[in-house]
Amino acid sequence: MELTAPPLERPLRLKKPDWLRVKLPTGESYRHVRGLVDHYKLHTICESGNCPNMGECWGAGTATFMILGNICTRSCGFCAVHTGMPTELDLDEPYRVAEAIKLMGVKHAVITSVNRDELKDGGAAIWALTVNAVRTLNPATTLETLIPDFKGNMDSVDAIIAVAPEVVSHNMETIPRLYRRVRPQAKYERSLSVIKRLKHGGIRTKSGIMAGLGETQEEVFKVMDDLREAGCDVLTIGQYLQPTRNHLEVIEWIHPDIFKNYELNGLSRGFKYVESGPLVRSSYHAEKHVK
């Protein structure tokens, strides 16, 4: 008797709602950004994170550069950036980022990085070099840096405070109950302490979370309260999208009305600015958060 393997059973996947439809990346500005990223051999979280807003952001001539390479030492369940052990430190990268930002001609630039947990300072020295290089070449450009937790190394956080970007962001990403699944190498309290330290250093602070990973609204409100207590000024909330089948599944499509409710609740809790909507990402409309 011939045995045939049963068909592979896949879990039911939620169909994407219409409000998550996006523009395809095209146009002159898009090609300009594409050319700069390629020419300067840079990485962007837009591409590495499969961001749905590339059509809009790159089409408007802006992108979020990701420094310290494109291999991350962590393995967050939501993130499409490649996990591994980085082999080198690209000491020229800060200057190439600064050049590219100059040629993009943006008023406000956003930079993020992978985690470099194998480095004693987590990459803080390269971060500082990058901010200084961007400032030197682009004195009129304001800067937002979306930093990692540096494993709680406050000397590294202080190195960011010392170069004083206009906004420093560190994302909580999700509610504490889901940390083990979503951010296994991170700690909720440690991330809050990064925000606290930044605020203490006089920085305008920002954080973001994803919705649709199985959190309740009450749990989101609790994160808001914790962030406010830590001194967070700006909050972003957006729908989690599964980047590949190997990443965490979307548990729920959050309706735009609920995002609106999060925005109103956040404002009433004292955030200076809340960007909340299905397609919101940390760097989405970031120029608005600097004022």
- How far is 247 from 77, CA to CA, in rounded Å? 5
Question: Least distance (Å) from ligand SF4 to the CB of residue 66?
Answer: 9
Q: For the purposes of burial, counting CB atoms within 10 Å of the CB of 102, is it exposed (0-12), middle (13-18) or buried (19 or more)?
A: middle
Q: Does 259 bind ligand SF4 (CB under 6 A)?
A: no
Q: What is the smallest separation between the CB atom of 153 and ligand SF4, expressed in angstroms?
A: 26
Closest CB 152 distance from ligand SF4, rounded Å: 26
Quickly list H helices, 11-83: 28-39, 45-48, 54-59
Tell the smallest beta-carbon distance from residue 260 to ligand SF4 (Å). Answer: 19
Q: How far is the CB of 180 from ligand SF4 (least distance, A)?
A: 26
Q: Which of 45, 119, 131, 250 binds ligand SF4 (CB under 6 A)?
A: 45
Residues 271-290 as x/- pattern, contact with ligand SF4 by CB under 6 A: ----------x-xx------
Q: Tell me, what amino acid is at 76? A: C
| Other residues' Cβ atoms within 10 Å of the Cβ of residue 19 | 14
Cα 64 from Cα 73, distance rounded (Å): 20
Site string for ligand SF4, 53-82 (x = CB under 6 A): xx--x-----xx------------------
Q: Kindly indicate which of the ranges 51-59, 71-79, 137-145, 162-170 contains the residues binding ligand SF4, using the contact rule CB under 6 A.
A: 51-59
Mutual orientation of helices 124-137 and 154-163 as an angle, nearest 10°? 0
Residues 6+ apart with CB under 8 A from 231: 195, 196, 198, 199, 200, 205
Residue numbers of the site for ligand SF4 (CB under 6 A)?
Answer: 45-46, 49, 51, 53-54, 57, 63-64, 281, 283-284
